[in-house]
Structure 1
Amino acid sequence: KEQALCSGYWLCVVCRLSWIRPNKAHLLLYPLQSYEIGKMDKKYSTGQEMQAKVLRLLATAYLEWDCTQCQDKALRAISLANECFLLPSPAVAELLHHEVSLDVCLNTAKLLLEQERESVGFEFLKSVAGRLETSPDVGKVILLHIELLLQRAKEPLAKQMMEDVITGHYKGKQLSPETLTRLHILLWDRAAKSYEVWNPLALQWYNYSLSFYSPGQIDQNLAKLQRNMASCYLHLKQLEKAKEAVKGAERCDPSSIFTQFSVYKIAILEGNADKAVEAICSMGELATKPTHHEDKLLVHESTATNLLSLAAQIALENEQQFVAIKALEYLSQHSQDCQQVFTGLAGRPFTEEGEALERRTCDAHWFRKIAWNLAVQCKSCPEAMRDFFVLSFKVCTTSSSLSGSVILTHASYRKVLEACRSALCPSPHTHALARALHHIQACREIWKVLKLTGDFTKDPTETLLLLYEFEARAKLNDPALDNMLELVWELPQVEIKTLETIASLAMECPAHYPSVCRKALKSALILHRKQEALDTGRFSKCLHSLVHLSLPASITDTDACVLEEAWGYFEDALSVLGSTVN
């Protein structure tokens, strides 16, 4: 049966149809039968190239028999032939017969793929590699072939070529040092892209690169490779393999801060606090020393501090507070960025799973106190103090910290207003004042919740919020400022001092609202009269301010009504003085 199939196949192939006559149309079945036999059993097929020849012969027969009626069938046969085996371009075939330079051949292959002639391009590279099989330049052809396969998402073919290259490497067909370096770069780049999307195949590309290093070889690039592989193993939860990879990196390049950081991560995951502290100490020492490695551009001062900050966060995430403190000590020594230090402090995520509410609350209080202390140390810089107060406020996430949140919010926008008061040019602080208003609104929302938890009738929070809002709106020239006096009477307790403060803020530069100031002072005067024991000093000061506001700026502005109002204040003053003497 096998002989019959094979003979039948060759019988169909050798049937030449170039002399088909109109009454011999049935002979067109032979090429089709030949094609089907080859598809049915690959064992008896003479290959895709021969099948393509049969199909092209069939297309020729169709066109010679009846070009009009059989045109579609001929095109279909040609399409099938191209799927089986695409004939190389005549121009490409011509290049192989001439001694053109290797660069011309490589550029030709690139051009073919740019023009979507993949099959021709890859076949051409195979032919060029075959011609240069004994030449050192064959590595350049293989490298380009692998690179183009990866660009075209043909990873299985690229991996097969890599395995062939590795096999040849150990059989004496080694690539030149320059080509091997470029191949390492290609493999690392592919592995890095896979790692970015958490693809486990990243490890396979790194393993290909590792295959070119001999056992016991000492090389800084090998240390980098081992560190990268350790990261892959850690992602795959294979701690022992990661540990072995880090040992290899430590053997090749122990004086690298990146190697010590890898040692640190393994120690933290193993719960080995002593070794983790030892690695942190090594990182701290290496951060102060200039590097002499070939990767010295990467070991920058900011890189060292970033690694120390990350080390502190990793320790906190893994409940290693003693190690975290050590990392923060070195970070504070080497970093000039206070925000980076605080990022290391606040880097611990709070999650519900596996962590009790009480522990979370304690941690929140600890971080809040640290931020508060840092704020207190920034007395000479209101902006920095404000930022630390805001950070401390953000840590207060639990209900038990609501009162602390109110205090911190007070402190934060108090510092905003202080910064604006001390500014020579107020225009850059418009945004800061608007942010202060945002803080006030946030504090009001917290205060609403807090009032539901107890009796706060004597708490000055609402009064302070109103005063801060009044000052911010006055400096922003808010047209709604006149209406804010009505909010004063909605307070649980209206104090004379509150009205006097509003009057002062209404006239404090750059604000200038004499009408608002006059209304506030008049209200304060009414409250003064209601006091059982009159404070004559404050009453006199209030009258003095009202008289000053009532008097005209010049003689030409004299108005009987204005003078009458001022005279009324003088009469009040005389009345108070008389009662005091009596």
Structure 2
Amino acid sequence: MYSLQLLTKLHSKENELLKKEYDNHGINIRHEALWFMKIAWNLALENSKVSSCTEQFFTLCAKFSSLCDMDENSLVRQKTCLLMAAAAALEIAREQPEFDDKKQAWQQALEHARSCKEVLKQLQETTKKDIGSTNDPSPVLLLLYEYEALAKLGHNKELEAVMNQALANPNTEIKTLDTLAALSMEPPAQHTGLSKRALHASIQKHLQHTDIDVNKCSKAIHSLVQLILGDNDVSVASNVQDAWSHKAIHSLVQLILGDNDVSVASNVQDAWSQYGIAIKLLESTHKQSYPQSCTTDPW
């Protein structure tokens, strides 16, 4: 109840400052706006366990910040607040039992994410820095938040554009690609094609490393093969051929079979024992190619 009262007061104060800025042509409200921005920020942190309050306080924080001087510090504050508000809105959607309420929260998250993108553009113009080349995690988080909201809302064209953006960026990390693949299939989303693309890119990045993380790469392969075999619009035989035709999977198998290090073969077997569908598929199509260490059925 107390938080709701504070929200009401802060909303009133925001309207008051907006009116004052309009009437006085923006003269001398910045110090006041900065003060209330700090209050909204602290209240957002204090109410971090209540997603609806967190989202509203961070939204107000961003609005108060927009009434301050449009310098780098103010833009960074706006960016952070909008990013936190988007995250809170996605959390609200997860908590809602009714689909209409979830949809409203996803839409709110999308609006916050898009507002944040505009602030990031302003920040880049102000600082003359390439945001993507810094250690700031905001662009990656923003991409993931926007993608999740679009996936859940079923905005397919916009969703594909975000995926293309991620795949076109050579700095996109494996972890980000794996997350995009998972979000593509997280109910109510069902974007199999986009999930396949993200997983394929993830596997390709694994193969570019000299020291492959076999467990993580095997998990990505397992997920990709599972998606391919899960397609109901083609025959099982066709699906098996489709799975094997993925160059990333074939390249990994060739890499493993061409390595005489027993410890590597053992690690591969241990990893694929957890994701049996991949090795079962490959055994069924290329059984004669496997060394003895990889042909023992662990199931």
TM-score w.r.t. structure 2 length? 0.71
Q: 1:563 aligns to what?
A: 240
Selected match of 1:408 from 56, 81, 85: 81
Is the alpha carbon distance of 1:494 and 1:353 closer, same or farther for their aligned partners in structure 2, counting shifts above 3 Å? closer
Q: Trace 1:70-85 onto structure 2 (pairs within 5 A).
A: none
Partner of 2:54: 385
- 2:34 alignment partner in structure 1: 365
> Does structure 1 residue 523 correspond to structure 2 residue 194?
no
C-alpha RMSD of matched pairs (Å):
2.9
Q: Is the CA contact (8 Å cut-off) linking 2:167 and 2:198 kept in structure 1?
A: no
3-state DSSP class of the match of 1:502?
A: helix
More contact order relative to length (CA 8 Å, sep ≥ 6): 2
CA distance in 2, matches of 1:492, 1:514: 23
Paired letter, 1:475: K
- Give the Å deviation of 1:352: 6.0
The residue number in structure 2 matching 1:310 is none
The CA deviation at 1:438 is: 2.2
Matches of 2:186 and 2:78, distance apart in 1: 29
C-alpha deviation, 1:354, in angstroms: 7.0
- Alignment correspondent of 2:10: 342
Q: CA deviation at 1:364?
A: 3.1
* 3-state SS, counterpart of residue 511 of structure 1: coil
**Contact 1:375–1:385 at 8 Å: present in 2 too?**
yes
Map 1:4-83 to 2 at 5 A.
none
What is the CA-CA distance between 1:505 and the residue it aligns to? 0.2
Q: What is the deviation of 1:353? A: 7.8
Q: CA deviation at 1:567?
A: 3.8
Structure 1 residues 372-404: Cα deviation after superposition (integer angstroms, max 9, x where no partner): 111122233211110111000001122130011
Is the deviation greater in 490-499 or in 410-419?
490-499
The answer to whether the aligner puts 1:454 opposite 2:128 as a matched pair is yes
Residues 376 and 354 of structure 1: CA distance in aligned 2, closer, same or farther (over 3 Å)? closer
Amino acid at match of 1:517: S
- Tell me the matched-pair count: 244
Question: 2 CA distance for matches of 1:353 and 1:395?
Answer: 13
Change (3 A) 1:399 1:491: farther
- 2:93 alignment partner AA: C
SS in 2 for 1:399: coil
Alignment partners' CA distance in 1, 2:148 and 2:26: 45
Q: Does 1:467 align with 2:140?
A: no
Residue 53 (structure 2) pairs with residue 375 (structure 1): no
Q: State the Cα distance separating 1:454 from its structure 2 match.
A: 3.4
Conserved? CA contact 1:463–1:491, under 8 Å: no
Contact 1:383 1:416 in 2 (8 A): yes
* Counterpart residue number, 2:172: 494
Residue 443, structure 1, aligned to residue 116, structure 2: yes
Q: CA 1:552/1:445 → structure 2, altered by over 3 Å: closer, same or farther?
A: closer
Aligned to 2:113, the other structure's residue is in SS state helix
1:393 and 1:572 mapped to 2: Cα distance? 48
1:414-472 deviations in Å (ceiling 9; x for gaps): 11111112222222232332232222222222111111213232233333222222111
Q: Aligned AA for 2:106?
A: L
Instruction: Report the structure, 1 or 2, having the larger helix content.
Output: 2
**Per the alignment, in what secondary structure is the counterpart of residue 411 of structure 1?**
helix
Which secondary structure does the structure 1 equivalent of 2:75 belong to? helix
Q: Is the 8 A contact 2:94 2:102 kept in 1?
A: no
How far apart, CA to CA, are the structure 2 residues paired with 1:353 and 1:472? 35
- In the TM superposition, residue 341 of structure 1 has moved relative to its aligned partner by 3.5
CA distance in 2, matches of 1:343, 1:447: 25
What residue number does 1:433 align with? 106
Question: 1:18-63: CA deviations, max 9, x gaps?
Answer: xxxxxxxxxxxxxxxxxxxxxxxxxxxxxxxxxxxxxxxxxxxxxx
- Residues 490/366 of structure 1: CA separation in 2 closer, same or farther (3 Å cut): farther
**TM-superposition CA deviations, 1:184-240 (whole Å, max 9, x none):** xxxxxxxxxxxxxxxxxxxxxxxxxxxxxxxxxxxxxxxxxxxxxxxxxxxxxxxxx
Aligned pairs for 1:43-442 (under 5 A) are: 337-343=5-11, 346=14, 347=16, 349=20, 351=24, 355=28, 361-397=30-66, 398-400=69-71, 401-442=74-115
How far is the alpha carbon of 1:492 from its aligned partner?
Answer: 6.6
| CA–CA separation in structure 1 for the residues paired with 2:70 and 2:47 | 28
In structure 2, what residue type is equivalent to 1:470? Y
Give the number of the structure whose alpha-carbon radius of gyration is greater.
1
Residue identity opposite 1:486 in structure 2:
N
In the alignment, the residues of structure 1 paired with residue 60 and residue 27 of structure 2 have an alpha-carbon distance, to the nearest angstrom, of 25
- The structure-2 alpha-carbon separation of the partners of 1:510 and 1:353, relative to structure 1 and needing over 3 Å to count, comes to closer
Closer, same or farther in 2 for the Cα pair 1:344/1:470, shift >3 Å? closer
Taking the aligned partners of 1:529 and 1:404, their CA distance within structure 2 comes to: 39
Q: CA deviation at 1:573?
A: 4.9
Unaligned runs of 5+ in 2: 265-299
- Alignment CA distance shift 1:371-1:551 (3 Å): same
Partner of 1:88: none
- Please say if residues 503 and 516 of structure 1, whose CA atoms lie closer than 8 Å, have aligned partners that are also in contact: yes
Q: Which residue does 1:536 correspond to in 2?
A: 214
Aligned residues of 2:178 and 2:199 also touching (Cα < 8 A)? yes
Given that 2:75 and 2:123 are in contact with CA atoms closer than 8 Å, whether structure 1 keeps it comes out as: yes
Quick check: 2:59–2:81 contact (8 Å CA) kept in 1? yes
**How far did residue 339 of structure 1 move?**
2.2
- Specify the SS of the correspondent of 2:171: coil
Pair 338,535 (structure 1): closer, same or farther in 2 beyond 3 Å: same
Q: Does 1:508 align with 2:186?
A: yes
Residue 563 of structure 1, CA deviation: 0.8
Q: C-alpha distance in 2, partners of 1:517/1:524?
A: 11
- For 2:85, give the aligned amino acid: S
Give unpaired runs (5+ residues) of structure 1.
1-331
